[in-house]
Amino acid sequence: MAKVDIAMPKDSLNFPKADILVIDDTPENLNLLSAMLTEQGYKVRSVTKGSTGLRGANAVPPDLILLDVNMPEMNGYEVCQHLKASDRTREIPVIFISALGDVLDKVKAFTVGGVDYITKPFQLEEVLARIENHLTIWKLQRQLQAQNERLQQEISERAKAEEKFAKVFRSSPNPIAIATVSEARFIDVNPSFLKMSGYCLEEVIGDTARELNLGKNTVAIAQPIQLLPETGSLYNLEFEFSTKSGELKTILVSLELIDLGGVPCALLIANDITERKRLENEFISLVSHELRTPLTSTMGALDLLSSGQLGTLNEQGQKVLSIATTNTERLIRLVNDILDLERMKSGKIFTRKAKCNAADLLITATEAMQAMADKLQVRLIINPVAVELWADPDRLLQTLTNLLSNAIKFSEPGDTVWISATLSESRGVESKENQPSSSNFLLITIQDEGRGIPEDKLQIIFERFQQVDASDSRNKGGTGLGLAICRDIIQQHDGKIWVQSILGKGSTFYLLLPLADSQ
Ligand code: ADP
């Protein structure tokens, strides 16, 4: 048989050639259709009886059925009715075949579920075109159906998730708020949030943390919200929260980016740690006070021993004494740092501010650290600026020596540490935190070539007892409190402190302080 060359639409050829069942009682028709369709790449099954066709369709449902109208026993309409009555075969497109001269009841053909009809003798091009069309339609229908099912499933899953979220939101003991990322405006808060804040829902919705005066530093919460698309989720940011009645609370806030009907929003989950903090501080300061007196007397005893007034120790004894002295010194440092921090937090330490020269401070701090730098073979380079600061010189010296001491102890022998000062237009300085807008600032940088600090630790090392490596306090003699003290001191000077670092390359700590004439 000659190959029939038919131009078929490209789309309809995309799927693997279909499985077609031909039911016709005339063997010539069957052979002709079968040969023609096989030639075109279709898989063809042919049967001469309606009942056999039904069994075949049921066993392995084909993609399309060509069905003769006039057949003995069971005619085409009846076969079609059976096909449409079964779930397994209902969707299969049926094209009726009728011989010229046969009476084809077209209305009936469509009523019983046929999608089309072709008449004998066959116009091969027409037959193929109709088959292709219906296969394409069927394929699209199946795709649509599958898509619909997927969508329905997604909708129901989403509805379930939303219901769950709504339940958690309403009943959570944690204060939760949702705010827009663009302006950090509250669009919903849960009952726990209302309870903690003392506000009612109407007062909160539509306002920002600043408009509600939810704390001294509302930028500290607005900024992370607005930067959320860049930073991704943030966890446990400590924030001083002010209630409607002015009561101050310490809360930890975690932020998640969520999408509410196409609007990027921040989900804020808070944890009120005020009471925990108070108890923690009370406990720490109590223990520290209790430890200080026996520690001072132990140190005195050790000093007496090492002075030799009580007799000479052998080499082993000297070694043990030196270990005891180092550890006692560390403990005293820790206790003093804790008490310092506690007094600063509770406002018991007053900064005594006066005009002081920045260059003098830098030089004094460097001289104080020179011995440590020499011991660890680290070079100190100073680059001061002679400007007047309005500051408490003792507290600033404490900050500078602490930062220099860190820079030196986290450096390798042969490395250099630079301490420099420049006058700064604050806006030109790169910092993640918000900075005062005036331009009369001194920017002090302490830069080292040491081991650096991992990016995820850059913020938290300013918190109490936070160290990059748990072994730092043992190996480097620190307490994990130095930077927390530095931050408090700098905040009391209306300045800012932050750090930039590249792991393995070094760190730079920045101090931004207002000049005396800007006060
Ligand atoms: P510590 O007494 O442990 O030095 P700090 O609060 O001063 O406490 O510093 C906290 C931690 O920050 C340090 O233990 C160290 O892990 C890290 N750190 C501080 N400064 C530097 C630095 N210049 N280079 C590398 N890591 C540093």
- What does 14-47 look like in DSSP terms, one character per residue? SSPPPEEEEE-S-HHHHHHHHHHHHHTT-EEEEE
Q: Residue 388 has what DSSP assignment?
A: E
CATH class for the domain made up of 172-272:
alpha beta
Best residue for ligand 1 mutational test, from 380, 401, 406 (most atoms within 8 Å of Cβ)? 406
Atom of ligand 1 nearest to the CA of 468: 16
Atom of ligand 1 nearest to the CA of 481: 6
Tokens of 222: 């607005």
Q: DSSP strand E in 328-440: where?
A: 354-357, 379-383, 388-391, 416-424
Burial (0-12, 13-18, 19+ Cβ within 10 Å), 136 = middle
Can you tell me which atom of ligand 1 is nearest the CA of 462? 6
Fold for 354-518, please state it: Heat Shock Protein 90 (3.30.565)
Q: Is 174 in the pocket of ligand 1 (CB under 6 A)?
A: no
Q: Are 435 and 426 in contact (CB under 8 A)?
A: yes
- DSSP summary character for residue 390: E
Cα separation of 457 and 184, whole Å?
26
- For a ligand 1 pocket test, name from 483, 489, 501 the mutation site with the most ligand atoms within 8 angstroms of its C-beta: 483
pLDDT at residue number 433: 46
Distance CA 420, CA 441 (A): 14
> 478 CB under 6 A from ligand 1?
yes
Class of domain 19-143: alpha beta
CA distances from 420 to 290, 377, 381, 448 (A): 40, 20, 8, 12
* Ligand 1 pocket, residue 479 CB under 6 Å: yes
Query: What is the pLDDT at residue 460?
Result: 87
Phi, psi of 503 (to 5 degrees): -55, 130
Tell whether ligand 1 has an atom less than 6 A from the beta carbon of residue 419: no
Please provide residue 292's backbone torsions phi and psi, each rounded to the nearest 5 degrees.
Answer: -60, -45
Q: Is residue 285 in contact with ligand 1, taking CB distance under 6 Å?
A: no
Contact 271, 174 (CB under 8 A): yes
- Nearest CA to 122 out of 28, 228, 245, 21 is that of 28
467 C-beta closer than 6 A to ligand 1: yes
Q: 406 CA to middle of ligand 1, Å?
A: 6
Domain ranges of the chain: 19-143, 172-272, 276-346, 354-518
Measured in Å, residue 390 CA sits from the centre of ligand 1 at: 27
Asked if residue 325 has its Cβ within 6 Å of ligand 1, the reply is no
Q: Is 417 in the pocket of ligand 1 (CB under 6 A)?
A: no
Question: Ligand 1 centroid to 73 CA: how many Å?
Answer: 94
Residue 476 alpha carbon to ligand 1 centre in Å? 9
- Does ligand 1 come within 6 angstroms of the Cβ of 461? yes
Q: Whose CA is nearest to atom 2 of ligand 1?
A: 478
- For atom 18 of ligand 1, the residue with the nearest CA is 406
Cα of 112 from ligand 1 centre, angstroms: 83
For residue 472, how far is its CA from the centre of ligand 1 (angstroms)?
A: 8
Query: Which residues are bridge partners to 388 per DSSP?
Result: 357
Of 320, 314, 392, 313, give the one whose Cα is nearest residue 351. 392
Per-residue pLDDT of the chain (519 residues; tens, 9 = 90+): 334 343 344 444 444 589 999 999 988 888 988 998 999 999 999 999 999 999 999 999 999 999 999 888 899 999 999 999 999 999 999 999 987 666 668 888 899 999 999 888 888 888 899 999 999 999 898 899 999 999 999 999 989 998 999 999 999 999 999 999 999 999 999 999 999 999 999 999 999 999 999 987 788 888 899 999 998 898 888 888 999 999 999 999 999 999 988 999 999 999 999 998 888 877 877 887 788 888 989 999 999 999 989 889 999 999 999 999 988 988 888 888 888 877 777 666 667 888 999 999 999 999 999 999 999 999 999 999 999 998 999 889 999 999 999 999 999 999 999 999 999 875 444 444 444 444 588 999 999 999 999 998 898 899 888 888 877 766 776 778 889 889 989 988 989 999 999 999 999 999 999 887 765
What is the 453 CA–ligand 1 centroid distance (Å)? Answer: 8
CA distance 160 to 154: 10
Task: Calculate how far, in angstroms, residue 467's C-alpha sits from the geometric centre of ligand 1.
Answer: 6
Ligand 1 pocket, 448 CB below 6 A?
yes
Residue 370 CA to ligand 1 center (angstroms) comes to 19
Ligand 1 centroid, distance to 508 Cα (angstroms): 12
- Ligand 1 in contact with 446 (CB < 6 A)? no
Q: Please identify, by atom number, the ligand 1 atom nearest to the C-alpha of residue 478.
A: 2
244-248 contacts, C-beta under 8 A, 24 or more apart: 244/197, 244/198, 244/199, 244/203, 245/198, 247/198, 248/274
Residue 518 has a pLDDT of: 61
Decide: residue 75, CB within 10 A, 0-12 exposed, 13-18 middle, 19+ buried.
middle
| Atom number of ligand 1 nearest to Cα 509 | 23
> How many angstroms is it from 471 CA to the middle of ligand 1?
11
Q: Residue type at 242? A: S
Q: Report the separation in Å between the CA atom of 405 and the middle of ligand 1, taken as the mean of its atom positions.
A: 9
Q: From the CA of 480, how far away is ligand 1's center (Å)? A: 7
Q: Which atom of ligand 1 is nearest to the CA of 452?
A: 25
Instruction: Determine the Cα–Cα distance for residues 436 and 355; give it in Å rounded to an integer.
Output: 20
CA distance linking residue 483 with residue 402, whole number of Å: 8
